[in-house]
Amino acid sequence: MQDASWDYAIVDHKTYGDLDRQHDLFTALRKEDPVHWTEPSGFRPFWTISKHSDIIEIERQNERFINAPRTKILSIEFENKVREAMAGRPMLVRAINHMDNPEHAKYKKITHAWFQPREVRRLEERIGLLARASVDQMLEKGNACDFYNDVAVWYPLKVIMLILGIPDEHGQRLLDITKAYFGGGDPEMQRGSDLIDATFAYVEFFREVARERRQNPTDDLASIIATAEVDGKPIGEFETSSYYVALASAGHDTTSATLSGGLLALMQNPAEMRKLRDNPDLIPTAVEEIVRWVSPVKHFFRTATETYTLRGKTIKQGDNLLLAYPSANRDEDAFERPFAFVADRTPNRHVGFGFGIHACLGMYLAKVEMIAFMRELLSRADKFQLAGDPAWTETSFVGGLKRLPIRFSRLH
C-alpha cells in the first residue's frame, strides 16, 4: 500500500474500524514517508504527519500552525453541505478546540478553573459513587453484558451530566445524539442521522439548557457557560451552543472508547491485569497506558501560517496538516515496544490528550473518572472473557469500540 492507496486509506472511515489496517497504514507511513502529501479524490489535500516528535514540534508552535480554518477530515461535498446548512459558515460548531489565540485563551478561561485538579477533587466522591453505581448495574446483569453499550457509554455520560447539572431523564437523548455525532461513516452508529443532524439536535437541546440557566443560574458548569462574558460582553448563541456541544460530546465519547478499549487490552494481556490486581496503586499509571493504547482521537488539523520545512519537505503557507495521534502513540522512536500493552509503562509521553495550548481541557477529569472506574471494576469483578467478537466504530475522527461482549464473575 502506498501513495494513492495510502491517501484513500487515511480518509476512509473503514480504516479506523479495522485496527490491523489502521496500524499497518501508519507504520508504513512512519517508516517510508512520515510527512506525506495526501491528495485523496473528493477531499482537499493536506500533509499527513505520523511521527510523535513531528506532532510535538507542530503543536508547540501554535502561532505557526493554527487551528482555523480546517479542523477535521471532511469531503468537499460534505464541506459544501455544512456551508449550506450554516448559511455560509465553514463549520457546524466553533468551540475552543477550533479557536486560536488570543480568542482561544479568552474562551478557555471561562471554564478553565472547573477542570483544574482542585475543582475536580471536589467532585471525586460523587464521581466515585457514579463509578460504583455503574459497576453495580453491570453486576446486576448476571455474568455477561456488552461492556461498551451497557456500561462504558453510560458512565462518562453520567459524569458529564453531573458537571453540567442535567437531569437523568435526558440521558438517553444525549446518548443517541452523541452516537450519531461521532458515528463517522458507520451506519450502525448514525441510525439515520448524519453529523449535521446530530449537531443541530445538540444545539437545540442545549439552547433550552442555556435559556433555563440564564433565568435560574445554579453552581453548575452549564450556568457558567450560559452567563459567560468575553471582553465584557455575553458570548454569542453560536459560541454558547458550541461550548456545550464540545464538552458534552468530547468528554463523553473519548472516555467511553478508552474505558472499553482498556478493558479489552487487559483481557488480552492477563499478566498486565494481574499487575493491577496485585498493586491497585498502579491503576493511574495504567490509565495513561490505556489512553496511549486506544488513542480515541484519531486526528486534528493545523494550518501553516508561514512556509516551514519538516524532514526536508516544504510546507507552504496555507497548507493543512493532519496530526495522526494513533500513529504518534505507536511510534517506535518514541516508545519502547510500542505495540505492547504495558500497564506500568513509565515514562509514557503519549499524545492521547493532544499537546500544547490545545491539549484536552478536561484531561484531569477524564483521568479521575477512569481511575475511579477501573478501581471499582477490578476490585469487584474477575475472570473477564470475550463472549463474542469486539467491533470498532468506522470513524476517522473520534471513537473506539462499538461492541464488547464479555463474560465475567463477581468477586464480592
In tens, the pLDDT along 58-101 reads 999 999 999 988 989 999 998 999 899 888 888 888 888 889 99
Residue 188 has pLDDT above 70, yes or no: no
Q: Give the model's pLDDT for residue 304.
A: 98
Q: Across-strand partners of 38?
A: 46
The number of angstroms, rounded, from the C-alpha of 337 to the middle of its chain's C-alpha atoms is 24
By CB atoms closer than 10 A (0-12, 13-18, 19+), residue 168 is exposed
241-270 average pLDDT score: 92
Question: What is the C-alpha to C-alpha distance for residues 378 and 141, in angstroms, rounded to an integer?
Answer: 17
Neighbour tally for 235: CB within 10 Å: 19
Q: Give the model's pLDDT for residue 93.
A: 86
Report which of 65, 60, 68 is spatially closest to residue 307, judged by C-alpha positions.
65
Residue 2 has pLDDT above 60, yes or no: no
> How many CA atoms lie less than 13 Å away from 77 in the CB half-sphere?
2
CA distances for 172 relative to 58, 177, 254, angstroms: 39, 9, 18
Mention every residue, 6+ apart, whose C-beta is less than 8 A from residue 407: 143, 144, 383, 384, 385, 386, 387
106-127 average pLDDT score: 92
Residue 280 has pLDDT above 80, yes or no: yes
Lowest mean pLDDT among 85-89, 128-132, 204-208, 369-373: 85-89
Residue 1 has pLDDT above 50, yes or no: no
Lowest mean pLDDT among 20-29, 137-146, 199-208, 259-268: 199-208
Question: What is the C-alpha to C-alpha distance for residues 219 and 389, in angstroms, rounded to an integer?
Answer: 44
Q: Give the model's pLDDT for residue 4.
A: 73
- pTM higher than the cut 0.85: yes
Q: Give the model's pLDDT for residue 189.
A: 57
Q: Report the DSSP pairing between strands 35-38 and 229-230.
A: unpaired
Question: What is the C-alpha to C-alpha distance for residues 287 and 265, in angstroms, rounded to an integer?
Answer: 11
**Nine-digit cell at 111?**
471554564
103-122 average pLDDT score: 92
45-51 average pLDDT score: 98
Rounding to the nearest 10 degrees, give the CA dihedral for residues 245, 251, 256, 262: 150
**324, 16 Cβ separation under 8 angstroms:** no
Question: What is the C-alpha to C-alpha distance for residues 174 and 176, in angstroms, rounded to an integer?
Answer: 5
The average confidence (pLDDT) of the chain is: 93
Neighbour tally for 379: CB within 10 Å: 15
Confidence at 251, pLDDT banded by 50, 70, 90:
confident
Residue 187 has pLDDT above 70, yes or no: no
